[in-house]
Chain A
Amino acid sequence: MRHIISLLMENESGALSRVSGLFSARGYNIESLTVAPTEDSTLSRMTIVTSGSDEIIEQIIKQLNKLIDVVKVLDLNDGRFIERELMIVKVKANAQYRDEMKRMCDIFRGRIIDVSDSSFTIEITGSSSKLDAYIESIDKAAILETVRTGASGIGRGDRILKV
């Protein structure tokens, strides 16, 4: 099953490679991994999207907790949460595609952030599966380039990950 794991870690050089090294050394999957400093500049927050059986996920959480630089770990799937990912897509927007691309962008509540004679650059946010759905919905031949941030997640309501 797909899990989103959030963690707070010391904002120190090498901390990211400790986490990514752990995943590769133990053969765990990483679908995506994002990291940036938090409002407290000594802490970074990382969101890891992974998948595995319940036993594997339990081990991943334990192994992450074992890393000395990791302050707190939360499996967002243990409760209710919100997930968002940003994707920027450059699509063909010549005469053949121009209307179609504008329409699909609106349907997925994207925004066109750059325009040229032959292309649109579109920004879309949402859950990773929504972004997947957008890619599925448009003509593959129209896609020039895509870039995705990987998912970020946060617990709903009173679920707070803080030191």
Chain B
Amino acid sequence: MSSNHISGAEIVIRCLHEEKVKFVFGYPGGAVLNIYDAVFQQNKFKHVLVRHEQAAVHAADAYSRSTGKVGVALVTSGPGATNAVTGIATAYMDSIPMVIISGQVPTYAIGQDAFQECDTVGITRPCVKHNFLVKDIKDIASTIKKAFYVASSGRPGPVLVDIPKDITAEKYEFSYPKSVHLRSYNPIVKGHSGQIKKALSLLLNAKRPMIYSGGGVVLGDAASQLTKFVRAIGSPITSTLMGLGGFPASDKQFLGMLGMHGTYEANMAMQECDVLLAVGARFDDRVIGNPEHFLSKPKTIIHIDIDPSSISKRVKIDIPIVGDVISVLTELNDLLSKEKTKQNPSLKHWFKDIDQWRSMNCLSFKNDKKLIKPQFVIQTLHKVTKGDAFITSDVGQHQMWAAQYYPFDKPRRWINSGGLGTMGVGLPYAMGTQLAHPDAKVACVTGEASIQMCIQELSTCKQFHLPIKIINLNNRYMGMVRQWQEFFYGNRYAESYMEALPDFVKLAESYGHVGMKIEKPSDVEPALKEAFSNKLKERLVFMDFITDQKENVFPMVPNGKGLSEMITAEDL
């Protein structure tokens, strides 16, 4: 054996160094002990020890969402891998580039029902972009190289690399491939020029043009190109939950979020437009509701997406443009700059309609003297953080209120689980975000149900001194479940009431953090100001807001209905 031979575990670490990984989120265990021994002997990346593997994957996912880099998680075999599955599926649904390294039992024990053995590659297959089982030490470096390449190119997604323990103990020389080529994988980058020209001319000649942008704009770092294009062309724009921040929410052209809990004006404009440009969005059920109803008003649809399978999946597309959104938008901007008439004369009329819908003021709510309205907490959070915080959220009513009442002007500031809708992501998402942006304000908007799904991570936050501000909108209900039960199940609140809640203030304190309970509307702003003050700059503050139990999220497009069939607060 030559002297430059190193262990498989060290090869894994060297690969991560080559990829310039700054953080690895993980949890040790038998099958990854060799790798952890190599982690111990290096200092180029920081290992973040979580309290549950699910949180490791979520935190790595948020690191990626908030930076655009590939997130990395390291878990052991068997239960380590199965615990990671929810995190992986969450990242997969939202197309987040990640590499998950999992330990596996030694190659000779695979298939023997060994201790902590599971078929990790089989279990994760439906929720990864790709996965690998490394069977030979010679393949470790090239496999990890491929994993990073596949995760971050094309439509991004999580890639898992399963490495048996014996392979990490063997020795081999390290050589990291400079480039990688997969004959079976060639993502398209540049859009079809003819289609792009056609798209522009349709938009310029439309009577009621509309733009609808999604998470692809954020993931593709195309926010500034999109903003330039939309401002030049002058049309209204809406965004999906995942696309928020892709276009400045404070801009007049922005109609707010669309979809099940979208604004009245955004949903009406989507329904009534005659030419629709969809950018990095996928017409999912929560966004356009019933596809037949959506198409009942004839419209020409242009769709820019890097993934051909997103096109014409739920709605037939007239002008498909397969390509990277930033490349296609750049081409559109170039073409537009050569046009004589940049803005279309029909826009004035179209905005008159829109202004009428806007005047509905669909997001207005009545503040109460005694009860804290959750919307008011979010509005105040926006005011106190000057709209410049990173906001992570869990899943449910609080998530929708955060999306509706915290306007985002920049991309990668809004970190939440859109596709899978995973309760419990909020706190680990805040961890990954805060580690990536140590000096930024990071707030986790959550509810008393969601937060308890990963509450153990308060311990991780203590260990790594993460000064996250937790905004717990505590209504003692699984609010969104309760809302559906109120509307569609005759007020039968089956198992949606949260009994035996902990004292969150004491809980936070027992983990070494600051706890606050806020029960009066007049205390909301002072409390938030205190939490974000210099005095508590270094501390995690758990703010337990006792909110109105009966508040619902409006507007609402009931499941299976059309976008223009919204229920508003006034209707009830």
Q: Among the listed B121, B125, B183, B307, which residue makes an inter-chain contact with A66, where contact means beta carbons less than 8 Å apart?
A: B307
B131-184 residues with Cβ-Cβ distance < 8 A to A are 133, 150, 182-184
Please tell me if the beta carbons of A17 and B309 are within 8 angstroms of each other in the complex.
no
Question: Contact partner of B122 among A17, A58, A65, CB < 8 A?
Answer: A17
Which residues of the other chain, A, contact B312 by a CB distance below 8 angstroms?
55, 58-59
Instruction: State the CA gap A62–B309 with chains docked (Å).
Output: 5
Cβ-defined partner of B126 (8 Å) among A25, A62, A66:
A25
Q: Is the CB of A21 within 8 A of B125?
A: yes
Assess whether A71 is in contact with B129, with CB atoms less than 8 Å apart: no
- How many A residues have CB within 8 A of the partner chain? 20
Task: Give A69 to B309 CA distance when docked, in angstroms.
Answer: 16
Chain A residues contacting B183 (CB-CB under 8 Å) are 71, 163
User: Do the beta carbons of A14 and B121 come within 8 Å of each other?
Assistant: yes
Q: Does chain B have a CB within 8 A of A68? A: yes
Q: Which of B310-369 contact A (CB under 8 A)?
A: 311-313, 316
CA distance A68 to B150 in the complex (A): 9
Residues in A neighbouring B133, C-beta threshold 8 A: 13-14
**A9, A66, A70 interface centre (most CB from chain B within 10 Å):** A66
Instruction: Name the A residues within 8 Å of B316 (CB-CB).
Output: 55
- A69 neighbours in B (Cβ, 8 Å): 130, 184
Least CB distance, A40 to chain B, in whole angstroms: 11
Which residues of chain B are within 8 angstroms of A59 by Cβ–Cβ distance?
A: 309, 312-313
Within the complex, what minimum Cβ distance (angstroms) separates A11 from chain B? 11
Is A94 among interface residues, defined by CB-CB distance under 8 A? no
Instruction: Across the interface, name the chain A residue whose C-beta is closest to B128.
Output: A68
Query: Mask for A83-102, Cβ within 8 A of B = 1, else 0?
Result: 00000000000000000000
A21 CB contacts on chain B under 8 angstroms: 125-126
Q: How far is the CA of A6 from the CA of B84 in the complex (A)?
A: 35
Chain B: number of interface residues, binned into ranges: 10 to 19
- How would residues 1 to 45 of chain A score, 1 for a CB under 8 Å from any chain B CB and 0 otherwise? 000000001100110011001000100000000000000000000
CA distance A13 to B119 in the complex (A): 13
CB of B308 closer than 8 Å to a CB of A: yes
Determine if B129 and A17 form an interchain contact, defined as CB atoms under 8 angstroms apart. no
Q: Please give, as numbers and ranges, the residues of chain B lying within 8 Å of A146 by CB-CB distance.
A: none
Task: Tell me how far the C-beta of B218 lies from the nearest C-beta in chain A, rounded to whole angstroms.
Answer: 21
Q: Once bound together, how far apart are the Cα atoms of A58 and B311, in whole Å? A: 10
- What's the minimum C-beta distance from A74 to chain B, rounded to whole angstroms? 14
A13 / chain B contacts, CB cutoff of 8 Å: 133
Residue of B nearest to A72 (CB): B184
Answer whether residue B185 sits at the interface, using C-beta atoms and an 8 A cutoff: yes
Q: Which residues of A contact B309 (CB under 8 A)?
A: 59, 62-63, 65-66
A83 to B273, CA, bound (A): 47
Shortest 6 CB-CB distances between A and B: which pairs?
Answer: A62-B309, A71-B184, A68-B130, A62-B308, A68-B185, A25-B126
Please name 13 pairs of A and B residues whose Cβ atoms are closer than 8 Å in the assembled complex, sorted by A. A9-B184, A14-B121, A17-B122, A18-B125, A25-B126, A59-B309, A59-B313, A62-B308, A62-B309, A66-B308, A68-B129, A68-B130, A68-B150
A interface residues, Cβ below 8 angstroms from B: 9-10, 13-14, 17-18, 21, 25, 55, 58-59, 62-63, 65-66, 68-71, 163
Known: A14-B125, A17-B125, A55-B316. 18 other contacts (CB 8 A): A9-B184, A13-B133, A14-B121, A14-B133, A21-B125, A55-B312, A58-B312, A59-B309, A59-B312, A59-B313, A62-B309, A65-B309, A66-B307, A66-B309, A68-B129, A68-B182, A71-B183, A163-B183
